């Protein structure tokens, strides 16, 4: 069970709006962070049907007064390092960041406008996936590129999924007392974070949400020289590369499917594309976990969260099988029996503890919104 947040940031209900590239999740949370009502909408080209969204928001408002709306926004850039009350100027500056997160930023801005049209006058708070990583040390955020790029263009590592990493790492510390936590947010997008005493010190995503892990349709890290070669020797345009790396790579590029369930089913066949794809996924996951543990000088707790992290037991066991040198080992029965909520799946005697924690970005957003508007 998740602990409530009564008394944190006031006593107001918050409507949390989590807009992704293919869905919009709406949650009305009371002051104790209990869900009063929920609704999920499909999004086409990043936007749900306006009429359907209007009806959903109105229905949720019947479950309790909406005092604040809290919106997940993927990219805050160098300016928005903390939650912010949204006005026209903030919206304008957020639109300028669309090229850095083309799959998600437009969806968040559309949902922000559409919900505001249904609830005019209700304060709007934007909460950023980049905020949790905004205070990483210089060595973790600096790219070894020309100084003019860093100074004139603001090139640096930002990191993403911060709302999920913040909640999962705090929850892990509450359950275990561990100070050095690696959180693995694994879903259609995927990233890891190294968290020491509640503070992010490193993460796998960078300037955009393309760096790091193999994802559903995104490549994760590839050799930049490969991209230059494709442009100069094979004539691919920047637009073609962008489409390929964001929409046709990752598991989709490896096996033709972005669905991890389908990948796991096919991976049982030796020599299949799915078997190779899953091996590539685990190889990158183990390597990135080890890198995050190195940033922490060791590992107390490993956390799996997100759609794949919570629902794919073979991903958790497969990752753990290659991380024994870090003290990670999972109990097979506990791992297979996970059915939701928060569960420790550590094998008896393992030095590092392993948890599955339900992703609750909604709680993180609601708490931040109340704190900004006490």
CB 191 within 8 A of CB 213: yes
Tokens 């936590």 appear where? 181
Q: Residue 324 in 3-state DSSP?
A: helix
- Pairwise CA distance, residues 171 & 364, whole Å: 11
197 is catalytic: no
φ, ψ dihedrals at 349, nearest 5°? 85, -5
- Pairwise CA distance, residues 309 & 184, whole Å: 7
Q: Following DSSP, what letter does each residue of 266-295 receive, concatenated?
A: HTTSTT-HHHHHHHHHHHHHHHHHHHHHHH
- Pairwise CA distance, residues 212 & 161, whole Å: 12
From the candidates 30, 129, 202, 362, which is the catalytic residue? 129
Residue 98 makes CB contacts below 8 A (sequence gap 6+) with 105, 106, 109
Sign of CA dihedral 125, 304, 40, 3: negative
- Candidates 60, 166, 36; CA nearest to 119 is 60
Indicate which residues carry an active-site annotation. Answer: 129
């Amino acid at each position: 069970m998740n602990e409530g947040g009564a008394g944190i940031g006031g006593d107001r209900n918050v409507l949390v709006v989590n807009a992704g590239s293919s869905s919009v999740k709406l949650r009305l949370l009371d002051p104790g962070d209990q869900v009063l009502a929920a609704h999920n909408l499909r999004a086409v080209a990043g936007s749900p049907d306006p009429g359907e969204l209007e009806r959903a928001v109105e229905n949720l408002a019947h479950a309790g007064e909406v005092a604040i709306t809290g919106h997940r926004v993927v990219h805050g850039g160098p300016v928005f390092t903390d939650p912010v009350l949204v006005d026209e100027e903030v919206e304008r500056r957020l639109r300028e960041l669309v090229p850095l997160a083309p799959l998600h930023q437009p969806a968040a801005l559309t949902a922000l406008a559409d919900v505001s049209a249904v609830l005019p006058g209700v304060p709007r708070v934007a909460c950023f996936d980049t905020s949790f990583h905004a205070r990483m040390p210089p060595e973790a955020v600096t790219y070894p590129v020309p100084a003019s790029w860093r100074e004139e263009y603001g090139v640096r590592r930002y990191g993403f999924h911060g709302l999920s990493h913040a909640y999962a790492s705090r929850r892990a510390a509450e359950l275990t007392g561990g100070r050095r936590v690696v959180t693995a947010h694994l879903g259609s997008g995927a990233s890891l974070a190294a968290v020491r005493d509640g503070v992010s010190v490193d993460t796998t995503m960078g300037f955009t949400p393309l760096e790091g892990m193999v994802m559903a349709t995104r490549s994760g890290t590839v050799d930049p020289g490969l991209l230059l070669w494709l442009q100069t020797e094979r004539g691919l345009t920047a637009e073609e590369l962008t489409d390929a790396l964001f929409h046709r790579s990752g598991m989709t590029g490896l096996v033709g499917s972005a669905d991890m369930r389908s990948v796991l089913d096919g991976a049982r066949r030796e020599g299949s594309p799915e078997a190779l794809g899953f091996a590539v996924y685990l190889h990158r996951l183990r390597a990135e976990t080890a890198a995050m543990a190195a940033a922490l000088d060791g590992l107390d707790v490993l956390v799996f969260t997100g759609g794949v992290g919570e629902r794919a037991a073979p991903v958790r066991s497969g990752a753990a099988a290659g991380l024994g040198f870090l003290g990670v080992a999972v109990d097979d029965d506990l791992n297979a029996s996970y059915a939701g909520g928060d569960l420790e799946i550590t094998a008896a005697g393992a030095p590092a503890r392993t948890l599955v924690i339900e992703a609750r970005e909604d709680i993180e957003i609601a708490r931040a919104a109340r704190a900004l508007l006490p």
